[in-house]
Amino acid sequence: SAPRQRRTSCCWERRHFFAIYGRRSLDPNGVFCKLGIFGGLKSEILKRGLRATGKREGIGAEEENGGDDEENVADESFQATLKQSKEVLARQKNLIRQIEERRKLVSSITSNAVNIEIDAATNESGSYSQNTKQCSTTTGELDKKYSITTAPEKSDQLSKVEVSVRPPSSDKKSVYRREIEDESPDEHSVADALGLSREVGSEAAHSAITSPSLSRASELYVTENLEDLIEQNIGNANAEQDATPGEGIKDSPPLAGANVMNVILVAAECAPWSKTGGLGDVAGALPKALAKRGHRVMVVVPRYGDYSEPQDLGVRKRYKVDGQDMEVSYFHAYIDGVDFVFIDSPIFRHREKDIYGGNRVDILKRMVLFCKAAVEVPWYAPCGGVCYGDGNLVFIANDWHTALLPVYLKAYYRDNGLMKYTRCVLVIHNIAHQGRGPIEDFHIADLPGHYIDLFKLYDPMGGEHFNIFAAGLKAADRVVTVSHGYAWELKTQEGGWGLHGIINENDWKFKGIVNGVDTKDWNPSLDVHLKSDGYANYSLETLHTGKSQCKAALQKELGLPVRDHVPIIGFIGRLDYQKGVDLIAEAMPWIVGQDVQLIMLGTGRQDLEEMLRNFEGHNRDKVRGWVGFSVKMAHRITAGADVLLMPSRFEPCGLNQLYAMMYGTVPVVHAVGGLRDTVQQFDPYSESGLGWTFDRAESHKLIDALGNCLNTYWNYKKSWEGLQRRGMMQDLSWDSAAQQYEEVLVAAKYQW
C-alpha cells in the first residue's frame, strides 16, 4: 500500500500544481510567459515544483523505501520544473527588454511632439497656425470622446455614449485602469497595457486572466502584479511626459478633485490670436492652468480675424442689438486641453489691429452682442460634439467689456428660472476703463427697465452716468482682481476710480489673486523668438553665456554699439498715463548721462509715441524707441536687457516684471499694485530681494532706484548674479493662481 500511497500523494501534488497554475503553464507560449514576468512568482513556481516532487515535503523518506520508478518520476518532474524555470527567466528578460523599448518609443514620440510645437511656433504666424491646426484636430477628436464623460449633465443619451469613451491619450493610466475594470478579461487591453507585442503577449495575457483553472488567490496575485507593472510602465511614460514643460492634462484623478466643473472664460482678447496687452495673455494662459486641474474649460472671444485653427461649428444664432437683428456663428478649436470658441459676426471682423476702436456706441454694441452670444454658448456650441450645458458652470468675465455678462445672466435667465446653477465671476484687470456713457446708453444694453439702477453711478468726474463696470460688479457672484496690492488700492478713493464705494460694499465677494506666467510662451529655455538672428535659448545653468549672446544680438538687431559691459535698460508697454512713460521722459537727461543703453517698445498716445522717436533721434548711440506692437521684440528685449524699468503710476498686476524675472532681467519698479506684490526690494546686507522699488511715482525717485541698480550692476557682480538667479528660481507659473481661482469658482458655485 505504501507505493500506492506515494503515487497518490505525488499525483495529488501535481494536480494541485496544475489546478493553481493551469495546464497551459507548461506550454512555452502559455501562462508562464505571462506569470514569469512577476519576479515573486518564480520562486513560488520552484517551490511548488519541488513540492510536486515530494523532496521538500519530507516524502523523500518514503521514496527511499519505494521503487526506482517512483524516484525517476520525481527526478524527471524536478528536471522539467527546473527547465521550465529557466525558460521563465529567459522570457522575463525578454519582456523587460520589450518594456524598455516601449518606454523609449513613448519618450521619442513625446519629444517629437514638443519639437513639432516648437517648430510650429518658430515659423511666422501662417505656418504656426497650420501646425496647430493639425494638433487641434487630433486632440479635438480625443476631446470629442473625453468631453462626453466629463459633461456633468447625465442625460440618457450621454450615459449611453459614455460606454465607448476614452479620455485623451495623455491620460493613459486611466484608460488602462478602466479597461481592466470594465472590460477584463480582455487580452488586448492587458497586453497593450503591458506593452507586449500581440504575438507574445495576447495569448499569454488571455491565459493568465481567463484560464478557468485560476484560483481566486492566483487571480488576485496576477491582477495585483499586472496593475503594479502597468502602474510602473505608465508611470515611467508619464514621468517622461511630465518632464516636458507646459504639457496639458496629466494623470487622473484631477487636482480639482470633487470640485471639477465647467468653466467658461469670456474676454475681448485672447493671445495668441488677439492681444493688446495683459488681458490677452491672461485669457490665453489661465484657462490652460484650470484645464490642467481637471476642469472642462472654454474660452469665448470674438473672431476678429480669419484664424486658421478654429473650424466653423455650423451653428447660427440671431441676437438683437439696438433694435437690429445680428447673426453670429461659432468657430471652435481645441488646444492644450481648452476649447476656444470664437464668435463670428460682421461687426467683429477685421478688427484684430483695432479691437477697441470706433466710437463709444460702436464699441458698446460690439460688447452687447458679444455678451449676449457668450452667455448662451454653453447651450449652442457643441465642443467635441457636446455642449457644456448650464449646470455646474461658472463664467469668468473680464473687465468692463464683458461686465454685461453677469447682468444678462441674471436679467434674462436666472430671474426667469433658467441657468439656475450657473454663476459668474468678474475679474478686474484695469478699473481705469469702465464703459462709461450717458444714461441714454442703457437702452442699447437691452435690459428690463428696473436694471437701470445697477448702471447708474454718480461721481464728481462724470456726474450721473451709465457705468457698465459698476453693474457688472454688483451682478457678479464673485469679484477677483489681479493682485493683493491692487485689491487694497481699489477700495481707496484714489485707486477705485469712482467704483471704490461699490467695491467696498461688495468686499465680501472680492479677492486679489496675483497673475501667473505662461511658462511655455515666456521661458528663456524654450522661447521661440530666441532661436534665430543670433539670439539663444538659455536657462539658469547657461544664464551667463546665453544672456550675453541675446544682449549682443539685440544690440546688433537695433543698431546699437555691441558692448557686453554696458547695461541695457528696457521698457515695454502701452504708452499712456498708467505706465509712467512721462517719468522716464523727465529722467531722460540723467539716463543718457550714464554709460547705458535704453530700449523702449510701445504704442499708444500719439504724443508719447512722438516722444519715443525724439529720444532716439537725439541719442542715437544710446537710445532706441520702437513704436509699434511686436511680440517678437517684446521677448527679445526681455531676454537681452539687463534691467526692466516699470515706473507705472498704477499697475493692477503687471506681467512684464514677471517675464523679466523669468529671464534673469532685474526689474526696477514703482512699488504699486501688483508691482509691490511681486518685486521685493533688494537688500545688500542679507543678499535678498528681486529688484529695486521706489515709493512714489516721481522722476527723482526713479533716478535714485535706477542709480542704485546700476551701481550694483557695475560694482557688485556677485550680488547682481544673485538677483538674477533668485528671480529665475521663482515658481511664477499659473499653477498656484489657478488653484486660488478654483477656490473662488467653488465659492461662487455654492452661493445662492
Ligand X SMILES: Nc1ncnc2c1ncn2[C@@H]1O[C@H](COP(=O)(O)OP(=O)(O)O[C@H]2O[C@H](CO)[C@@H](O)[C@H](O)[C@H]2O)[C@@H](O)[C@H]1O
Binding site for ligand X (CB under 6 A): 277-279, 281-282, 429-430, 482, 515, 572-574, 601-603, 629-631, 634, 651-656, 674
* Least distance to ligand X, CB of residue 692, Å: 18
Task: Report the C-alpha gap between 424 and 283 in whole angstroms.
Answer: 16
* Least distance to ligand X, CB of residue 430, Å: 4
* Least distance to ligand X, CB of residue 313, Å: 29
Residue 388 or 741: which CB sits closer to ligand X? 741
* Least distance to ligand X, CB of residue 576, Å: 9
Please report which helix (H) or strand (E) contains residue 373, including its range: helix 360-380
| Residue whose C-beta lies closest to ligand X | 277
Give the E-state strand segments of 92-237 in sequence order.
none
Helix (H, G, I), strand (E, B) or coil at 422: strand
* Least distance to ligand X, CB of residue 701, Å: 20
Give the Å distances, CA to CA, from 286 to 31, 54, 114, 347, 374: 50, 68, 21, 27, 18
224 φ/ψ sector (left φ>0, alpha ψ -120 to 50, else beta): alpha
Is the C-alpha dihedral spanning 144, 149, 151, 156 positive or negative? positive
List beta partners, residue 424. Answer: 395
* Least distance to ligand X, CB of residue 266, Å: 15
Please report which helix (H) or strand (E) contains residue 313, including its range: strand 311-321
* Least distance to ligand X, CB of residue 483, Å: 8
List beta partners, residue 397. Answer: 266, 426
Is the C-alpha dihedral spanning 471, 477, 481, 486 positive or negative? positive
* Least distance to ligand X, CB of residue 301, Å: 15
* Least distance to ligand X, CB of residue 634, Å: 4
415: number of Cβ within 10 Å: 11
Residue 300: phi and psi, rounded to 5, are -115, 130
Strand 692-694 and strand 510-512: the pairing is unpaired
697 φ/ψ sector (left φ>0, alpha ψ -120 to 50, else beta): beta
Q: Are 345 and 369 in contact (CB under 8 A)?
A: yes
* Least distance to ligand X, CB of residue 639, Å: 12
Helix (H, G, I), strand (E, B) or coil at 269: coil
Task: Report the C-alpha gap between 238 and 242 in whole angstroms.
Answer: 6
Residue 238 or 678: which CB sits closer to ligand X? 678
Please spell the DSSP secondary structure of 32-63, one letter per residue: HHHHTTSHHHHHHHHHHHHHHHTTTTTTHHHH
Residue 326 or 431: which CB sits closer to ligand X? 431
Please report which residue ranges of 276-359 form alpha helices under DSSP H. 278-292
Residue 284 or 567: which CB sits closer to ligand X? 284
* Least distance to ligand X, CB of residue 448, Å: 32
* Least distance to ligand X, CB of residue 640, Å: 14
Cell (9 digits) for 678: 511681486
Residue 49 or 647: which CB sits closer to ligand X? 647
Cell (9 digits) for 617: 533721434
* Least distance to ligand X, CB of residue 249, Å: 25
Helix (H, G, I), strand (E, B) or coil at 266: strand
Q: How many residues does the chain have?
A: 752
- Amino acid identity of residue 544, one-letter, is H
Residue 586 or 609: which CB sits closer to ligand X? 609
* Least distance to ligand X, CB of residue 513, Å: 10
Q: Are 503 and 496 in contact (CB under 8 A)?
A: yes
Residue 281 or 339: which CB sits closer to ligand X? 281
Query: Per 3-state DSSP, what percentage of the chain is helix, strand, and coil (rounded to 5)?
Result: 55, 15, 30
Residue 54 or 664: which CB sits closer to ligand X? 664
Task: Report the C-alpha gap between 323 and 568 in whole angstroms.
Answer: 55
Residue 49 or 516: which CB sits closer to ligand X? 516
* Least distance to ligand X, CB of residue 727, Å: 16
Residue 192 or 651: which CB sits closer to ligand X? 651
Residue 655 or 662: which CB sits closer to ligand X? 655
Helix (H, G, I), strand (E, B) or coil at 267: coil
Cell (9 digits) for 509: 465677494
Please spell the DSSP secondary structure of 112-151, one letter per residue: HHHHHHHHHHHS-HHHHHHHHHHHHHHHHHHHHHHHHHH-
Strand 510-512 and strand 478-481: the pairing is parallel
Cis omega (within 30 of 0) for bond into 567 = no
Residue 205 or 480: which CB sits closer to ligand X? 480
Strand 338-344 and strand 324-335: the pairing is antiparallel
Task: Report the C-alpha gap between 334 and 377 in whole angstroms.
Answer: 15
Cell (9 digits) for 508: 465680501
Cell (9 digits) for 70: 517512483
Residue 77 or 276: which CB sits closer to ligand X? 276
Residue 640 or 654: which CB sits closer to ligand X? 654
Residue 44 or 609: which CB sits closer to ligand X? 609
* Least distance to ligand X, CB of residue 528, Å: 15
Please report which helix (H) or strand (E) contains residue 739, including its range: helix 735-749
Residue 384 or 472: which CB sits closer to ligand X? 472
Task: Report the C-alpha gap between 117 and 129 in whole angstroms.
Answer: 11
* Least distance to ligand X, CB of residue 432, Å: 8
Complete edge-to-edge strand list for the sheet that includes strand 692-694:
623-627, 597-602, 568-572, 643-646, 666-670, 692-694
* Least distance to ligand X, CB of residue 633, Å: 6
Residue 296 or 574: which CB sits closer to ligand X? 574
Residue 437 or 516: which CB sits closer to ligand X? 516
